[in-house]
């Protein structure tokens, strides 16, 4: 299981990469591994205003369907349209396959997320 340094992680198994005031959000390698082969990704609407913990989208796999929750509040300013035609990209590299970019409205919410070491411990406790 890959858990890159420099990203932040939620207890719902989403990752966040910060670039200025923008938050790139995707699901973790742990999540995609547990889901199995991903066959569909539901993307959020551009311009949607979301609060931390709101449903950002969803993924369907051969095993199950799962909601994706936004770890931070903000406005959806970009979605990864490539995932509509190739959802399996998340299985190939979960950290290169972001789902949406949010213009954050409350950077202090980042303090509620885990670094790589804490997330690794969290995943170990779930097994």
Q: What is the C-alpha separation between 13 and 123, in angstroms, rounded?
A: 9
Residue 2: inside a domain:
no
Average pLDDT over residues 29-34: 95
Half-sphere exposure of 46 (CA within 13 A, CB side): 5
Q: Does the pLDDT of residue 43 top 90, yes or no?
A: yes
**Predicted pLDDT of residue 100:** 98
> Is position 62 within any domain?
yes
Task: Confirm whether 127 is domain-assigned.
Answer: no
Q: What is the pLDDT of residues 67-114, one digit of tens each?
A: 999 999 999 999 999 999 999 999 999 999 999 999 999 999 999 999
42 falls in which pLDDT band (50, 70, 90)? very high
Q: What are phi and psi of 17, to 5 degrees?
A: -115, 125
Q: Identify whether 114 is part of a domain.
A: no
Which has more pLDDT, 4 or 1? 4
Within-domain flag for 117:
no
Residue 47 belongs to some domain of the structure: yes
pLDDT for residue 63:
85
pLDDT, averaged across the chain:
96
Q: Strands, DSSP E only, in the chain?
A: 8-9, 14-19, 22-27, 38-42, 49-50, 55-61, 65-69, 74-79, 100-104
Residue 92 has what pLDDT? 95
**Per the structure, how many domains does the chain have?**
1
| CATH code of 76's domain | 2.40.50.100
Q: What percentage of the chain reaches a pLDDT higher than 70?
A: 100
pLDDT at 127: 76
User: Domain for residue 121, yes or no?
Assistant: no
The domain in which residue 45 lies consists of 11-107
32 belongs to a structural domain:
yes
């Amino acid at each position: 299981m890959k858990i890159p340094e420099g990203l932040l992680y939620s207890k719902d198994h989403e990752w966040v990469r910060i670039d200025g005031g923008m938050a790139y959000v995707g699901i973790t390698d742990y999540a995609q591994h547990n889901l199995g082969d991903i066959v569909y990704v539901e993307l959020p609407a551009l311009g949607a205003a979301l609060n931390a913990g709101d449903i950002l989208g969803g993924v369907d796999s051969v095993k199950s369907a799962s909601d994706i929750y936004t770890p931070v509040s903000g406005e959806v300013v970009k979605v990864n349209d490539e995932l509509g035609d190739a959802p399996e990209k998340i299985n190939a590299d979960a950290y290169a396959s972001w789902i949406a970019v949010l213009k954050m409205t409350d950077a202090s919410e980042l303090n509620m997320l885990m670094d790589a070491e804490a997330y690794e411990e969290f995943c170990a406790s779930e097994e």
